Amino acid sequence: MSKREDSTGGSNSMWGGRFAEGPAAIMREINASIPFDKALWRQDIAASKAHVAMLGAQGIVSAEDSALISGGLDQVAAEYEQQGVPEDWDLEDIHMTTESRLAELIGPAAGRLHTARSRNDQVATDFRLWVRDAMDQADAGLKALQIALVTRAGEHAASIMPGFTHLQTAQPVTLGHHLMAYYEMTARDRSRFADARARADQSPLGAAALAGTGFPIDRQATARALGFAEPTRNSLDSVSDRDFALDYLMAAAQTALHLSRLAEEFIIWASQPFGFVTLPDSLSTGSSIMPQKKNPDAAELVRGHAGRIVGSLTSLMITMKGLPLAYSKDMQDDKPPVFEAAGLLTLCLAAMTGMVAGATFRTDRMRAAAELGYATATDLADWLVRQAGIPFREAHHITGAAVKLAESKGLAIDRLPLSELRAIDERIDERVYDALSAEASVAARASYGGTAPDQVRARVAEARLALGLE
């Protein structure tokens, strides 16, 4: 009789003598997590090696068995690396799959590996290790995007473009200033991942099923071996906690929202009415019927993937919302949303980094657009306040009249004759024209963090220093 037949019709050796018959086929299928948790195999091997080394050092298992098990785990890891992890649903998960193969390789000594631990603390440890690696990967991806943003911002510190509110032309800004806004967003994203990683830097290994263990284990040793700062402090919380996964997803979701906003801007800028940017061919596609089309598909997919990442966060939050302590089988569903979000986030970061680095910015189109919509109207109001001592509310009213006049004549404000401006308010003189160009407008906004080219260059220099580029 095959192992599969035995597990569905006879005793189940992995579950032991408690069950007279194996699970029904539907239970077998709903219970198995190996199709997705096989992604944890590296972490599972690492945690098992740390655990058995500690058991040997503590004299809980013999030095000979500890060495034999460790060597067997290395052999299992080599097989997984070369051949992949087999999916035997009778073995349920990566932990049983590894232990079963270890027993085939080294015999009964493999049974000593699970001394003083449970699958509850085992999976909590493996998953923390995986999520910690995912946090590091996200940080690396964000840093690469920041480097691209800072590099392009430095190139375009003085390139003028329209700044928008409500997607209406508001005031001239520089492209460098606009790109550096996303640098600030990604800096906050990196800080969220760093904070999440610090909170996740505790090892659950040794908490066992929920109450700890009676064996004289050394949890500090296993924590150090796995690169954790310390062990967790409460065994119940250790196996129940998935805050580290939620923290990752929250940081990933916020990052995805920022990437989606950047993607949306590239989509708008690449459209013919704007024409501010030409996207890299490698991140665009054509149309099956319209040969003139160059579609921003990568940007659109980044925008779409943000919804899936936010959905992953929502999924795990709902899973965890009402679970009593300690472990519940619902928690088996913790990994798929994290795995999906991590894969999508990695793709989105790479796509937007390539887009920022490879885009061709049409600064001539941007400059022309900055002159539309009376973008320097605020500069006229500011000039009236500074040079004529007029209260801002009155200056605002005067400027509104000037805009109305310019609009009626189809002219930019700085093209209105001085006589017509003075007809609106006689306190206006020829010096006003020095303030009404787009260049003068951006140069005037030299407050800390403003769009003036000198301010942009200063922020770029700070960012380059923070990124280790200087």
- Give the residue numbers annotated as catalytic, written as ranges: 166, 287
- Name, in order, each residue with C-beta under 8 angstroms of 224's C-beta and a sequence gap of 6 or more: none
Whole-Å CA distances, 376 to 67, 172, 401, 416: 76, 7, 14, 13
- Residue 172 main-chain phi, psi, to 5 deg: -65, 140
- Name, in order, each residue with C-beta under 8 angstroms of 431's C-beta and a sequence gap of 6 or more: 383, 387
Give the pairing of strands 160-165 and 360-361: unpaired
Residue 125 near residue 47 (C-beta atoms within 8 A) = yes
What is the dihedral angle through the alpha carbons of 191, 192, 198, 202, rounded to the nearest 10 degrees?
A: -160
Whole-Å CA distances, 118 to 54, 102, 302, 324, 400: 15, 17, 40, 19, 73
What is the dihedral angle through the alpha carbons of 94, 95, 97, 103, rounded to the nearest 10 degrees?
A: 160
C-alpha closest to that of 116 among 222, 264, 13:
222
Q: In this structure, what DSSP letter does residue 22 have?
A: P
User: What is the token pair recorded at 192?
Assistant: 């969220």
User: What is the token pair recorded at 229?
Assistant: 């700062």
C-alpha closest to that of 439 among 455, 451, 457, 421:
451
Whole-Å CA distances, 248 to 161, 199, 220, 261: 36, 11, 25, 20
Distance CA 313, CA 302 (A): 17
- Is 161 in a helix, a strand, or coil? strand
Whole-Å CA distances, 72 to 49, 64, 100, 105: 10, 12, 11, 7
Distance CA 249, CA 26 (A): 31
